[in-house]
Amino acid sequence: MAEGMRVEPDLEFIKYLKGAGGDTLKKCFQCATCSVVCPLATDKKPFPRKEMIWAQWGLKDKLVADPDVLLCHQCGDCTAYCPRGAKPGDVLGAIRAYAYTHYGFPAGLAKLCTSSKNLPLLIGLPAALILVLWAISGGLHLPDAQTFKEVGLTNFFGHWDFHWLTKNVFFIDIIFVPAFMFAAFAAFKGASAMWNKMVEGLGGDPAFRPSCKQFAIDFLWPSIVETIQHKRFNECTENKDRVNGHLPLMLAFLGLLLVTGYSFVAKDIVGLLIPSLHGPIGMMNPVKWLANVAAIAMIVGIAILWGNRKKMEEEQGVTPTFYDWFLIWEIMAVGVTGLVAELSRLSGLVFPAYLFYYLHLVSVLMLFLYMPYTKFAHMVYRTVAMAFEKYRESGFAENQEEA
User: Is residue 11 within a helix (H) or strand (E), and if so which, with residue range?
Assistant: helix 11-19
Tell me which residues of the chain have a pLDDT lower than 70.
Answer: 1-7, 204-209, 234-242, 268, 271, 275-280, 395-403
Per-residue pLDDT, 1: 45
Per the CB < 8 A criterion, the answer to whether 357 and 156 are in contact is: yes
Distance of CA 304 to the CA centre of its chain: 17
Q: What is the sign, positive or negative, of the torsion defined by CA atoms of 265, 268, 274, 275?
A: positive
Largest CA distance in the chain: 81
Q: Which of 302, 245, 303, 238 is nearest to 87 (CA)?
A: 238
Rounded Cα distance between 80 and 207, Å, is: 41
> For residue 206, what pLDDT is reported?
60
Residue 158: strand, helix, or coil: coil
> Phi/psi class of residue 74: alpha, beta or left (left: φ > 0; alpha: ψ in -120 to 50)?
left
Q: Is the peptide bond before 9 cis (omega within 30 degrees of 0)?
A: no
Question: SS in 3 state form for 183-205?
Answer: HHHHHHHHHHHHHHHHHHHCCCC
Contacts 24+ apart (CB under 8 A), 260-268: 262/287, 263/287, 267/166, 267/169, 268/165, 268/169, 268/173
Euclidean distance between CA atoms 360 and 230, whole angstroms: 29
CA distance 24 to 56: 11
What Å distances lie between residue 149 and 266, 280, 348, 349, CA to CA? 22, 12, 6, 9
Alpha helices in 316-394 (DSSP H): 322-346, 350-370, 378-392
3-state class (DSSP) for residue 386: helix
What percent helix, strand, coil does the chain show, rounded to 5?
Answer: 70, 0, 30
H or E segment to which residue 260 belongs: helix 243-263
Note the pLDDT of residue 403.
Answer: 46
> Amino acid letter at 281?
I
CA distance 380 to 191: 7
pLDDT at 311: 82
Report which residue type is found at 349. L
CA pair distance 267, 218, nearest whole angstrom = 36
Q: Which amino acid, 171?
A: F
Cα gap 74→236, rounded to integer Å: 9
